[in-house]
């Protein structure tokens, strides 16, 4: 593959709702561009982009795949992103590295949550966007209803460019509104020009076409004053003016074109490839990237003549090839067998061989110019790291959502714990939205991510890539025990077994207090307990704090005052007094009205305005206390603040997704412990003692 400069590169993220035809569209583009000699299908598991065994098994994209193709003098880097909500982090990586986001919308089901999320992410990152209405040839598809939905949801920027001609619920041809020409496709995907539609061909199309052309021309006129003047004078635009207006409109976010395509006949695919070159902004057209030099913010244009700088936007942990780092060249020319400074980690990285990918097929390249995407293998850089030659820069990082769903991880085979930790460390390099750690309260290994499917896929990858099998189970709640009233008890340890015996006798007052740790005091008078035994008494109490009398949970909020006792000049020892303190603690806990404490967290949940009532009702069922509601930064969304027991949050992520259809998100942080309601105490004790 030859070297391309910024103006001859198109970086395109393909995003959208799950099942809207992203991978199928990518496959059609790859095939039509001549980079593949067959047209694969997701159902058959033989597409270029879904090559991972887990993707083939589930028949869905689980990770962003890169497919670089050459077409008509342009290098097109396709980034096929997953549409499943659990893998939104991959979608954000793909959009970050792109200049245009191609959003697929099913002609059958129309605008969905995934459509909105992809469009929102594109706007948030300042990327041009385009809608492709797929499955146009399905009898249940309705392109013009979907077009109306797009305009209703996303506003007047939506502009049709390639539209279908429909007769008897079948697409018979496609009209390119730029060229004002009509094309039809046979079952082999071969295209021929045909007559523009008339009332005889499709009774609705003739007058509909006039309206589409008028709307199309008005959208183009908005991009330039001279074009606006020409539009008002009633003059028709030339093809060159239309192309230039659309190109500028896409680049500035004024226009979001809509193109229709077919899965069966590949109708519209050749026109889409043509528009990619004509309309889609190149890196040279795109806004400069944001970088930081110390505390100073800089704008970095895609310039081949400057010192090289690249950004690692994705990492793949391949057990055979090694770690693969996907790099977008932000400036200059990155070359193989060259050293660069990892300014994020503060070390030096030598890039050995560089590759461009088409799915799993690797093609070695010697260099990659500004705006291009390349892959380096076996380097230490992580996702979100910046590699530089010359001045030290750090590019703006990709923002990932915090993990909100967690489970406990258990090895199926003893002794696999170290393998699990090593494997998940590699998987976390690949997916920054996953975390794996040992809970210091329960000592369980915890795997956290975006949802149930996310963690199931992570477990499957651990088995397939690193040969370690695990089970996932609900995580334990870190309950505590405490006391609710004051008591005074004796702890006496006396044992005679020949020779020196053991003797320790203490009187200790226990009372509730506000402290996570044991508060120990001594008020012994007259030397009833020698001072040299005080540390042993405290140590005995501290050890008992690790396990309460109700359910064996750690104890908190206890103050112990040593008030009296007795000793034997020969038989008393530190061990005897430590044991006596333990006896006193266990008896004192029983007499001081012990109870269970549960962890309470602060919840901030962002939901669509229409779903606030349902979410608040759900929080009430979870014993939550709603503290207030505020408008979110995003239009049409509300932030609900509440305090909720952690015990009730284990299924909240799944329930929130169902209520809001995937539009809701939340953050949950521990704040304090509170007394568990009495009707739940026996249930918790039974579950912890199983």
Are residues 240 and 148 located together in one domain of the fold?
Answer: yes
- Of 258, 184, 176, nearest to 209 by C-alpha is 176
Give the H or E element holding residue 582: helix 574-591
Does the residue 684 lie in any domain? yes
- Spatial distance between the Cα atoms of 482 and 510, rounded to a whole number of angstroms: 11
Are residues 239 and 366 located together in one domain of the fold?
Answer: no
- Of 600, 613, 601, 599, nearest to 666 by C-alpha is 601
* C-beta neighbour count of 200 within 10 angstroms: 8
Are residues 418 and 513 located together in one domain of the fold?
Answer: no
Are residues 97 and 213 located together in one domain of the fold?
Answer: yes
Are residues 427 and 511 located together in one domain of the fold?
Answer: no
């020319």: which residue's tokens?
333
Are residues 411 and 544 located together in one domain of the fold?
Answer: no
Give yes or no for a contact between 379 and 339, defined as CB atoms under 8 angstroms apart.
no
pLDDT for 499 equals 65
pLDDT for 416 equals 79
Does the residue 229 lie in any domain? yes
- Please tell me the total count of domains within the chain: 5
Domain boundary among 423, 444, 473: 473
* Tens-digit pLDDT profile for residues 532-542: 999 999 999 99
List the beta strands (DSSP E) in 343-456: 347-351, 354-358, 361-365, 367-369, 373-377, 386-388, 394-395, 405-411, 435-438, 445-449
Are residues 78 and 141 located together in one domain of the fold?
Answer: yes
Give yes or no for a contact between 601 and 670, defined as CB atoms under 8 angstroms apart.
yes
Are residues 362 and 425 located together in one domain of the fold?
Answer: no
pLDDT for 559 equals 96
Q: What is the CATH number of the domain that holds 518?
A: 3.30.230.10
pLDDT for 25 equals 94
- Spatial distance between the Cα atoms of 105 and 151, rounded to a whole number of angstroms: 13
Q: Work out the widest C-alpha separation in the chain, in whole angstroms.
A: 117
Does the residue 284 lie in any domain? no
Question: How many CA atoms within 13 Å lie on the side-chain side of 50?
Answer: 28
* Tens-digit pLDDT profile for residues 582-597: 999 999 999 999 999 9
Burial 596-612 (b: 16+ CB within 10 A, else e): bbbbbbebbbbbbeebb
| pLDDT band, very low/low/confident/very high, at 226 (cuts 50, 70, 90) | confident
pLDDT for 147 equals 93
Does the residue 1 lie in any domain? no
Does the residue 428 lie in any domain? yes
Does residue 127 register a pLDDT over 90?
A: yes
Strands 354-358 and 373-377: antiparallel
Domain boundary among 218, 243, 278: 278
Give yes or no for a contact between 251 and 230, defined as CB atoms under 8 angstroms apart.
no
| pLDDT band, very low/low/confident/very high, at 9 (cuts 50, 70, 90) | very high
pLDDT for 62 equals 92
Are residues 84 and 219 located together in one domain of the fold?
Answer: yes
Average pLDDT (148-165) is 92
Does residue 189 register a pLDDT over 70?
A: yes
Average pLDDT (104-125) is 94
Domain boundary among 592, 619, 650: 592
Does residue 437 register a pLDDT over 90?
A: yes
User: Domain residues for 339?
Assistant: 289-395
Does the residue 150 lie in any domain? yes
Q: What is the CATH number of the domain that holds 56?
A: 3.40.50.300
Q: What is the CATH number of the domain that holds 602?
A: 3.30.70.240
pLDDT for 202 equals 62
Does the residue 585 lie in any domain? yes
- Residues sharing a CB contact under 8 Å with residue 354, sequence separation 6 or more, in sequence order: 334, 335, 336, 364, 365, 366, 367, 368, 374, 375, 376
Does the residue 602 lie in any domain? yes
pLDDT for 1 equals 64
Question: How many CA atoms within 13 Å lie on the side-chain side of 60?
Answer: 16
Q: What is the rounded (10 degree) CA torsion for 43, 46, 51, 56?
A: 30
Strand order across the beta sheet in which 405-411 lies = 435-438, 445-449, 405-411, 470-473
* Tens-digit pLDDT profile for residues 552-566: 999 999 999 999 999
**Structure-block tokens of residue 622:** 């979870």
The share of the chain scoring above pLDDT 70, in percent, equals: 98
Does residue 151 register a pLDDT over 70?
A: yes
Are residues 230 and 300 located together in one domain of the fold?
Answer: no
- Of 81, 97, 35, nearest to 383 by C-alpha is 97
Are residues 440 and 499 located together in one domain of the fold?
Answer: no
* Tens-digit pLDDT profile for residues 601-616: 999 999 999 999 999 9
**Structure-block tokens of residue 313:** 């936007």
Angle between helices 143-154 and 113-124 (to 10 degrees): 50
| pLDDT band, very low/low/confident/very high, at 330 (cuts 50, 70, 90) | very high
Are residues 122 and 254 located together in one domain of the fold?
Answer: yes
Does residue 320 register a pLDDT over 80?
A: no
Q: What is the CATH number of the domain that holds 446?
A: 3.30.70.870
């Amino acid at each position: 593959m030859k070297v391309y400069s910024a103006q001859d590169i198109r970086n395109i993220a393909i995003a959208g709702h799950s099942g809207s035809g992203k991978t199928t569209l990518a496959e059609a583009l790859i095939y039509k561009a001549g980079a593949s000699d067959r047209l694969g299908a997701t159902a058959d598991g033989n597409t270029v982009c879904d090559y991972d065994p887990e993707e083939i098994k589930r028949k869905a994209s689980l990770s962003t795949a890169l497919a670089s193709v050459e077409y008509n003098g342009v290098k097109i880097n396709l980034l096929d992103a997953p549409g499943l909500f659990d893998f939104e982090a991959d979608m954000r990586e793909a959009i970050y590295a792109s200049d245009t986001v191609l959003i697929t919308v099913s002609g059958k089901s129309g605008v969905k949550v995934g459509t909105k999320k992809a469009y929102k992410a594109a706007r948030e990152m300042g990327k041009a966007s385009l809608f492709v209405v797929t499955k146009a040839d399905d009898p249940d598809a309705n392109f013009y209803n979907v077009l109306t939905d797009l305009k209703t949801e996303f506003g007047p920027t939506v502009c049709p460019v390639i539209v279908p001609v429909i007769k008897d619920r079948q697409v018979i041809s496609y009209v390119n509104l730029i060229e004002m020409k009509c094309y039809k496709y046979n079952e082999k995907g071969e295209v021929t020009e045909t007559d523009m539609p008339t009332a005889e061909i499709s009774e609705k199309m003739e007058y509909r076409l006039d309206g589409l052309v008028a709307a199309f021309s008005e959208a183009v006129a908005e991009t330039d004053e001279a074009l606006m003047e020409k539009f008002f004078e009633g003059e028709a635009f030339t093809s060159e003016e239309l192309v230039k207006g659309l190109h500028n409109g896409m680049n500035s976010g004024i226009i979001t074109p809509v193109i229709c395509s077919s899965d069966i006949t590949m109708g519209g695919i050749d026109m889409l490839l043509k528009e990619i070159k004509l309309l889609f902004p190149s890196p040279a057209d795109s806004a400069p990237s944001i970088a930081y030099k110390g505390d100073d913010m800089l704008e970095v244009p895609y310039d081949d003549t400057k010192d090289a700088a690249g950004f690692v936007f994705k990492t793949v942990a391949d057990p055979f090839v090694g770690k693969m780092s996907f790099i977008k060249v932000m400036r200059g020319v990155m070359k193989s067998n060259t050293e660069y400074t990892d300014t994020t980690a503060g070390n030096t990285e030598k890039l050995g061989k560089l590759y461009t990918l088409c799915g799993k097929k690797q093609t070695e390249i010697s260099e990659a110019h500004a705006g291009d995407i390349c892959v380096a293998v076996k380097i230490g850089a992580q996702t979100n790291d910046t590699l530089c030659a010359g001045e030290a820069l750090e590019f703006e990082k990709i923002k990932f959502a915090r993990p909100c769903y967690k489970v406990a991880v258990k090895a199926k085979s003893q002794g696999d714990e170290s393998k699990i930790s090593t494997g998940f460390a590699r998987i976390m390099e690949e997916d920054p939205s996953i975390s794996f750690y040992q809970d210091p309260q329960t000592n369980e290994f915890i795997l956290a991510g975006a949802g149930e499917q996310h963690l199931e896929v992570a477990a499957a990858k651990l088995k397939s890539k690193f040969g370690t099998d695990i089970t996932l189970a609900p995580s334990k709640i870190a309950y505590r025990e405490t006391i609710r009233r004051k008591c005074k008890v004796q702890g006496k340890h006396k044992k005679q077994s020949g020779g020196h015996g053991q003797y320790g006798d203490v009187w200790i007052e226990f009372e509730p207090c506000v402290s996570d740790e044991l508060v120990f005091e001594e008020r012994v008078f007259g030397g009833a307990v020698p001072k040299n035994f005080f540390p042993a008494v405290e140590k005995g109490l501290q050890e008992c704090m690790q396990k309460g009398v109700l359910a064996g949970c750690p104890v908190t909020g206890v103050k112990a005052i040593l008030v009296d006792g007795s000793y034997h000049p020969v038989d008393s020892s530190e061990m005897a007094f430590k044991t006596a303190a333990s006896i006193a603690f266990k008896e004192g806990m029983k007499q001081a009205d012990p109870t269970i404490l549960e962890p309470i967290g602060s919840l901030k949940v962002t939901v669509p305005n229409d779903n606030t009532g349902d979410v608040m009702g759900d929080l009430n069922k979870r014993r939550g206390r709603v503290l207030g509601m505020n408008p979110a930064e995003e239009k049409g969304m509300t932030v609900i603040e509440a305090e909720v027991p952690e015990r009730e949050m284990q299924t909240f992520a799944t329930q929130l997704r169902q209520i809001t259809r995937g539009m809701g998100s939340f953050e949950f942080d521990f704040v304090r412990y509170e007394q568990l309601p009495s009707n739940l105490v026996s249930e918790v004790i039974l579950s912890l003692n199983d």
